[in-house]
Chains A and B, each alone.
Chain A
């Protein structure tokens, strides 16, 4: 790479700028639309907003839809409980399977691996019947239960990670008479922290974006989450683009802010999550 010609460098930058343009063009147009009146938007798509402080579209979204009062709180509640559960159950399984030998161990690991390749959307045909008979349709805990029950990726990440924690730590703790629960809680759990960060990132992204499960199991309006609320808003009401644009921006912003603050962890998280599979 030392003697690269100016020509090659130019082509490289050019391709990068084309990439940047393709990525930023859609959100940019949505952003300027969100600050325009309907009239303004129809007149010229690309003209900058006449008034950068035209907040009417946002006001409409905040006051006339349930995004702030229902969708975000519900989504946060579901993410909070599910991810906490994923972490607790994941570390427990990893400790039990990663530290002890017993008869069924290989079978259990195999069961997790097989479940990890099963496409979740296809089995919902049968899961729906199960949830129905459990009386969990239109219950905010239904998706939480599913996110806990069908989560295999966290367990696999923890299982991979616990292998790199030296067993001699457990042994020396045992020499000092620590109980196995203490070893799990005071030694293994804190040392699994990098895996926990990965799990938090992957699961939060997954659950925040998931459309299918809330769409199937929570049809009531007071149970809307972010993904179903925008689906409802755009669908039957056929709302104007300026309102839709404001809603899209409202939904994008929290994730973008979190991403800018947590970049390093997120890159590492998605990389190790996918490669460890």
Chain B
């Protein structure tokens, strides 16, 4: 081998990075820049584009219809908070010496690996007003008074949908918490016990500080996940019955109503909101490290 390492280095850098960078630029950055450009256009996606400046943005900020749907995203955020709390509870429980904990972990995690579209239809069968198994179950156990029109009642449907998301992702959050809990050295707990700390004190002073980072990360994912909620309400309801989320609005405006300019502006707004939260989280995380 008589090619010098310097030459080899150049060959490697060029040949290893060209294709990935081309892909990154084509499928991440080109669409991103186009999105900004389209957001200043009035365009149906097919015929002539007309430059309209900030008109699309004025439309979004001036018309309550657009930001109004964010209240539907709020259900997924609240569901996500509950999910994170439950996940932490179960993780702490399954991290203790408990009989059958592996079995519990398998079952509680199971929904995460189940197919998401199939899950939505499974819950449709569960919630169905006439044939649904949930109402039939409530009858069976003598709780007929709790029966609801789970998908038909506009004041309930968003809870029903957010629950599907909780059901699917609780186990994932739990396994992530468990992974972190298991990495806390046992001798710290030993020392705390010798100092007479109760299990509540151990949780507050040993467990919580150790999982702070993961907790922050999961809360950020809850927030961005809620902002980006799309699949469950779209597949189950096609956005009908007051279940439209911000992304459903964006997709409908762009693809169904063919207002690509306005749809792009909505996408840009969503992107900026997400980036602000990610940025804030990064700042907080940095602050915590010092």
User: Chain A: residues with CB nearer than 8 A to chain B?
Assistant: 1-2, 4, 12, 15-16, 19-20, 22-27, 29-30, 33, 41-42, 45-46, 89, 92-93, 95-97, 100, 102, 108, 111-112, 115, 117-119, 121-130, 145-146, 148-150, 152, 155, 174, 177-181, 184, 205, 208-209, 211-212, 216, 226-227, 230-231, 234, 241, 244-245, 247-248, 251-252, 255-256, 258-260, 263, 266-268, 270-272, 274-275, 277
Contact = CB atoms under 8 A, between A and B. Distances in A.
A218 to B, nearest CB: 14
Contacts of B61: none
Question: Which interface class (under 10, 10 to 19, 20 to 34, 35 or more) fits B?
Answer: 35 or more
A125 B107 contact: no
Contacts of A102: 13
Nearest to A234: B121
A178 B275 CA distance: 44
Nearest to A262: B113
> Helix, strand, loop or mixed for chain A's interface?
helix
A255 B231 CA distance: 20
Nearest to B126: A26
Interface string B15-58: 01101110110111111101100100000010000000000000
A109 to B, nearest CB: 12
A46 B108 contact: no
Contacts of A29: 125-126, 133
A251 B12 contact: no
Given A20-B104, A180-B11, A259-B110, 14 more contacts: A23-B107, A26-B167, A27-B122, A89-B20, A119-B271, A122-B228, A129-B34, A155-B20, A179-B1, A211-B117, A267-B105, A267-B175, A274-B221, A275-B176
A121 B230 contact: yes
Nearest to B90: A19
A46 B98 contact: no
A115 B31 CA distance: 11
A173 B271 CA distance: 45
Nearest to B172: A270
Q: For A123, A179, A247, which residue has the most chain B Cβ atoms within 10 angstroms? A: A123
A127 B35 CA distance: 9
B264 A270 contact: no
Contact of B231 (A93, A178, A211): A211
| Nearest 8 CB-CB pairings of A with B | A149-B27, A271-B179, A122-B267, A126-B34, A126-B31, A149-B23, A92-B16, A96-B16
Contacts of A119: 224, 227-228, 247, 270-271, 274
B220 to A, nearest CB: 9
A49 to B, nearest CB: 14
10 contacts: A12-B98, A92-B16, A111-B29, A125-B263, A130-B34, A152-B28, A178-B1, A181-B8, A260-B106, A267-B179
Given A226-B115, A251-B115, A115 B29 contact: yes
Contact of A117 (B115, B123, B214, B278): B278
